Amino acid sequence: MGGFPIWIRPDTTKIHASMKTSKIAGLPSAELVDVPIAVVSHVRRLGIPVFNVRGKIIGPGERTARDTQMVYILADDLAELLDAFRANLRQLMTAESIPEYHRAWTLHFVLRHEIALLQGDAAGTELPLGLPVALEALTQFVLKAARAPGVLLQISEEDDGGLAAHSLHTAFLTVLLSQAMGVRRPDQLTALAFGAVFADVGLSERDFDGFLGGAETLEVAVPPTHPRRSLEIMRRMGLSPQAAQEAVLRHHERWDGLGYPDGVAGGDLPASARYVALANHFSSLSARRRRGRKGTVGAQIAELAQTEGAFEPALQVAFVRLLRQHMPGLSIRRR
């Protein structure tokens, strides 16, 4: 497998390749993509044609969530449909009439599209080989959640998917940094990506006990204690790589020992936690910029470069250099 290809407009080729395509008699020359009618019926103001099995356009009033049948869109309209999924993500994740496995299906492709957008933000640079391997593992995990409700499916119901988007952004940057620092094995990069995604899940107010099980109730955590809750959620999901668990527990510790939850400092901090801490912090800075609280993305890099005491100095310098290499624009493009 080669590195990520470079593009400006989000490339849906790989997303398209993993979705089922069809040919129907009414449209013999067009390649179509199968999509669940239960999902399409909940997308507001969808501006692309939707076809039934006979090739007839289905009007908005005919798109109901009455069953689990599939309908079809033109392959060329896939990017627009995925943008529509992103714009309606919270509604799609909370609609009881949409079967759970179709909600997982939707989130799976939204995450893949989000990754394509992140990659497009880094246009002009070659992204590392391990990045698609690690992030594809995340999207496949979401599909597995179709059989038993998954944490990513749940947290995507909150804040228009803000926590999920922040988590994915953190994972993207973590894999970039860790590979730049010499991590090469796909299983190690995947563990780091999972650690980054679940680092802040403990901040969610969702009640996870119903599908995670366990003898003790997972109480909602306040910020200084959420790493422990995140770790417990991760363990109950069966995600056990040591690097991932260390990253989740220690990503808010500081190099100078003034972090939480245990005040671990310096060389006692696991490398995975150091990587995730930097990526998580920069993703939070980028989120503030997206909300209009800060200036340009360059200002976020400058702010990170001036942070003292929180991060390993040499790693911080390397991360700032990496960001500048891939800038302008490494951010989550929000609707």
Residue 130 lies in a domain: yes
Q: Given this model, what pLDDT does residue 314 score?
A: 95
- The number of folded domains in the chain is 2
Residue 79 lies in a domain: yes
Give yes or no for a contact between 174 and 125, defined as CB atoms under 8 angstroms apart.
no
Based on the fold, state whether residues 155 and 31 are members of the same structural domain: no
Residue 106 lies in a domain: no
Length of the chain (residues): 335
**Closest among 166, 164, 57 to 106, alpha carbons compared:** 164
Based on the fold, state whether residues 142 and 58 are members of the same structural domain: no
Distance CA 268, CA 283 (A): 24
Based on the fold, state whether residues 132 and 228 are members of the same structural domain: yes
Q: Is 70 left (phi over 0), alpha (psi -120 to 50) or beta?
A: beta
Crossing angle between the packed helical segments 186-198 and 130-144, to the nearest 10 degrees: 60
Q: Given this model, what pLDDT does residue 203 score?
A: 81
Structural domain harbouring 95: 1-99
Q: Given this model, what pLDDT does residue 276 score?
A: 96
Q: Could you report the average pLDDT of every consecutive run of 10 residues in the chain (335 residues)?
A: 29 56 59 86 85 82 66 88 84 82 82 75 61 76 59 62 72 88 89 89 74 58 79 82 94 95 96 95 73 62 87 94 70 41
Based on the fold, state whether residues 81 and 146 are members of the same structural domain: no
| Distance from the Cα of residue 270 to its chain's centroid | 23
Based on the fold, state whether residues 72 and 177 are members of the same structural domain: no
Based on the fold, state whether residues 194 and 226 are members of the same structural domain: yes
Q: Given this model, what pLDDT does residue 335 score?
A: 35
Residue 216 lies in a domain: yes
Would strands 21-24 and 70-74 be described as parallel, antiparallel, or unpaired?
Answer: unpaired
Based on the fold, state whether residues 311 and 207 are members of the same structural domain: yes
73 backbone dihedrals φ, ψ, rounded to 5°: -125, 160
Domain harbouring 259, CATH code: 1.10.3210.10
Residue 83 lies in a domain: yes
Based on the fold, state whether residues 216 and 322 are members of the same structural domain: yes
Q: 37: which 2 tokens?
A: 């009618």
Q: What is the pTM of this model?
A: 0.75
Based on the fold, state whether residues 77 and 172 are members of the same structural domain: no
Residue 9 lies in a domain: yes
Q: Given this model, what pLDDT does residue 209 score?
A: 65
Based on the fold, state whether residues 159 and 299 are members of the same structural domain: yes
Distance CA 121, CA 115 (A): 10
Residue 316 lies in a domain: yes
Residue 151 lies in a domain: yes
